[in-house]
Chains A and B, each alone.
Chain A
Amino acid sequence: MPLVYAGVCSHAPGITGRKDRADPEARDALYCAFDQMREDIVASGAEALVVIAAEHFANFFMNNMPSFAVGMADFYDGPIEDAGWLGIETFRAPGNRDLSRRLITEVMQTVDVAYAEEWKFDHGIAVPLHFLTPEFDLPVIPVNVNCQGPPLAPLPRAWAFGEALRRAADSVPEKVALVGTGGISHWPATPDSGKINEPWDRDFLDRWCANDKDRLLDYDDLTVYADAGQGGFEIRTFIAISAAANGAKGTVHFYTPIPIFAVGCTIASYKL
C-alpha cells in the first residue's frame, strides 16, 4: 500500500526523564502535540511504524558502525537506559520480522543497509514510542542512521535512503507509517546542553516543509557542528523523511525550545 504517514518528532531523554523540571505549559503543549501525532498515525490505519532514529551508541559502535541499519526481529526490548533515569518503564515492543525482511530486500536494490536481528531501544526510539504507541500494540521497525560517530553518511545518501524506504513501503501490502526522530540544533549531554539555535531550527524547518531538496542538502557537517551542535547531525533522519515524502509539503505542528529537554521540541508531518 502507498505510505500512509510521514512525520518527524524530537527525542531526548529529558522529555520523559526530566519532565518535572520543565516549564509545565511548554511541556504539556509538547505532550499534547505528541498525542495528536499518535491520533494521526492511528487514523492513517498504519499496520507498522517504521522509526528512523539516530541512536546513541546503544547497539552500534565504532567497532562496526553501519551508516544505515534496519531491524529485523519480532520484538525489541528497551529502554537500554536505567528506567528511573529515563522515566520509561522496561518494555518489549512488537516487531514484524517478515515485513522487515521484505522492506530490507527492496531497500537493498539501491542502498546498502545493515540489518540487525537484535536491537535494544535507547531513548532515541523509546521516547517517541512512549507517546506514539504507549501500549506497545503497533509493530515497530527500527531504522538507524549513524549521526554519532563520524565519518557520517553524506546528506545526499540520507536522501537516497529515504527514497528507498518509500519505494519499499509502497511495495508491501501492509500500511506503513514512517516517523523520523532527531535534533534539530542541540548540544546533548555536553556542557552546552540546553543551548538551542532557534533561528537555525526555524530556517531548517522552512526548508523541510517546502521539501526543497537542494536547500535541505545544502549543509556541511563542520558548519552544522558550529551552528547546531553535534545533535544537528541528526538532521539526516528528518531529511530521509523528506525524501520519503516524495515531493509532499509539510506542516510544523509544534516547535518550542525547552532547554531542560536540551532540544527545540518539534512535531511536524507531510501531507502525503
Chain B
Amino acid sequence: MSLYYVQKFLFELNRDPRVQEAYRSDRTASLADYELTTEEVEALTQPDIGLLYHLGVNGQILMHFAAFHQIEWQDYLQRMRDGIATYGPVREGVYATTGYEGTEAHAASLGQSEGER
C-alpha cells in the first residue's frame, strides 16, 4: 500500500498541465514513475473515486481529480459514500484516525439527523 504515491500523483496532476496531458494520452503509462500497487493503478485509471477515498486519499486532492473527470459535485460525494459501502471504512491517512463509521452514525454521534445537512 502506497497512499503517499497515490496522493503524490494526484498532487502533480492537479498542478502540472504536462502530467495532465500524459494522463490523458495514456493513463497507465503516466503512472509508471510512481510506486503503486495494481489496485492503486486501477483506482487511478478507471477512475474509481470510491476506492481512492477508501484507500485514504485526502478529499482536498480527490475533489480536483473528480472535477478533472467532469464528475459533478453531488455525484462526487455519492461515489465516496458508495466506496465506503463497497470497500469498507477508510484504510489509512487522516480520515482513518478515529475509526470512522460512516455518515449516518457520525451525524448521530454529533446529535444531528442526516436531514440537517
Give chain A's interface residues, CB within 8 Å of chain B. 13, 18, 56-58, 61-63, 80-82, 85, 120, 148-150, 188-195, 197, 222, 225-227, 230, 259
Contacts and interface: CB of A to CB of B under 8 A. Distances in A.
Secondary structure of the A side of the interface? Answer: loop
A189 B110 contact: no
Given A190-B53, A197-B110, 4 more contacts: A56-B60, A82-B67, A150-B94, A192-B106
A24 to B, nearest CB: 18
Nearest to B59: A189
A80 B15 contact: yes
B63 A189 contact: yes
B81 interface: yes
Contact of A195 (B64, B81, B117): B117
A148 B60 contact: yes
Contact of A259 (B14, B63, B110, B117): B117
B111 to A, nearest CB: 8
Contact of B15 (A120, A191, A225): A120
B80 interface: yes
B117 A194 contact: yes
Interface string B87-111: 0000000110110001100110110
Contacts of A150: 94
Identify the 8 closest CB pairs spanning chains A and B, nearest first. A189-B59, A56-B60, A189-B63, A194-B117, A191-B80, A191-B81, A190-B59, A85-B67
B76 to A, nearest CB: 8
B26 to A, nearest CB: 22
